[in-house]
Amino acid sequence: MSLIAITEVKKRFGDNEVLKGISIDVAPGEVVAIIGKSGSGKSTLLRCINGLETIDEGSIVVAGAQFLPDEVHLKALRLKVGMIFQQFNLFPHLTAGGNVMLSQMVVKKTPKKDAEAVARKMLDRVGLAHKFDALPDELSGGQQQRVAIARALAMQPIALLCDEITSALDPELVAEVLAVVKELAAEGMTLVMVTHEMRFARDVCSRVVFMHQGRVHEIGAPEDVFANPRTPELRQFLGVQ
């Protein structure tokens, strides 16, 4: 039984069909990396799973929650999948703790005291318990991204979507964020990540999806995909002959 079932999804922006019938099943606890050139549709696919983009055809079901573009269904879907963005998107007027508490209180109506306890626990989990009262401006990019992860985790999602979460970071800050993700993967969290960190994809992911021109071009275990690319497009993308 797959946790995330993506079936024949098509998505158009005007005349430009960016997803041309994508089908992927993700099992519970799987860590799936989506790789591919920019413009291949990988970020769009990820955003569709969270309902940030609508789809034109096909279906997306996450643990029984079907993606339909109305408020009730969107909320049910988004309670199951958290999302982490390239640009962190922390709320600038709230402290790290406030960022992690807000959606618990607003969406789940969790009492403030309980939300704070969860926030402290989640910040501790990403190694930032001591930054509870810091504003996003006072944190490094890597720390901001870890707060964003804590914020998503506080909603207790059953899967996390990561959209190039290390692409906006200075090289020396990438490791601390990937370490957190690696830990989540080890704890059994289901992850779907668009990434350019090939070594990370190879080491941590259970499956790799190579997207090309709006289609799943190759899919398989990382050792196969990276060691034996079958198509010329993937060989070119990976820079192997």
Partner 1 sequence: MTYQFDFGWLIESLPVLFKGIRITVQLILIGAVFGVALGIACAWVRALGPKWLKPVVAAYVELIRNTPFLIQLFFIFFGLPSLGIRMSELSAANLAMIVNLGAYSCEIIRAGIQATPRGQFEAGASLAMTPFQAFWYVVLVPALQRIWPALSSQIVIVMLGSAVVSQIAAEDLTFAANFIQSRNFRAFETYTVSTLIYLALAILLRQLLAGLGWMLFPRKASR
Q: Which residues bind partner 1 (CB under 8 A)?
A: 50-52, 71, 74-75, 78-79, 82-83, 85, 87, 89-95, 102-103, 106-107, 133-135, 137-138, 148, 151-152, 155
Pick between residue 156 and residue 228 the one whose CB is nearest to partner 1: 156
Pick between residue 142 and residue 157 the one whose CB is nearest to partner 1: 157
180 within 8 A of 126, measured Cβ to Cβ: yes
Q: Which long-range contacts (CB under 8 A, 24 or more apart) does 101-104 make?
A: 101/154, 103/151, 103/154, 103/155, 104/154, 104/155
Angle CA 180–185–191, to nearest 5: 100
Q: Give the nearest distance from C-beta 115 to partner 1 in angstroms.
A: 13
Pick between residue 96 and residue 234 the one whose CB is nearest to partner 1: 96
Q: Give the nearest distance from C-beta 219 to partner 1 in angstroms.
A: 25
Report H helices in the chain.
42-49, 71-80, 96-107, 112-125, 141-153, 171-186, 198-204, 222-227, 232-238
Q: Give the nearest distance from C-beta 102 to partner 1 in angstroms.
A: 6
**What residue has token string 């799943």?**
216
Q: Give the nearest distance from C-beta 1 to partner 1 in angstroms.
A: 24
Q: Taking the CB of residue 202, how many other CB atoms lie within 10 A of it? A: 15
Residues 6+ apart with CB under 8 A from 14: none
Pick between residue 151 and residue 207 the one whose CB is nearest to partner 1: 151
Pick between residue 97 and residue 222 the one whose CB is nearest to partner 1: 97
Closest among 85, 62, 69, 229 to 145, alpha carbons compared: 85
**What's the sign of the alpha-carbon dihedral 236, 160, 203, 90?**
positive
| 3-class SS of residue 27 | coil
Q: Give the nearest distance from C-beta 155 to partner 1 in angstroms.
A: 6
Pick between residue 124 and residue 133 the one whose CB is nearest to partner 1: 133
Q: Give the nearest distance from C-beta 131 to partner 1 in angstroms.
A: 12
Pick between residue 13 and residue 91 the one whose CB is nearest to partner 1: 91
Q: Give the nearest distance from C-beta 234 to partner 1 in angstroms.
A: 30
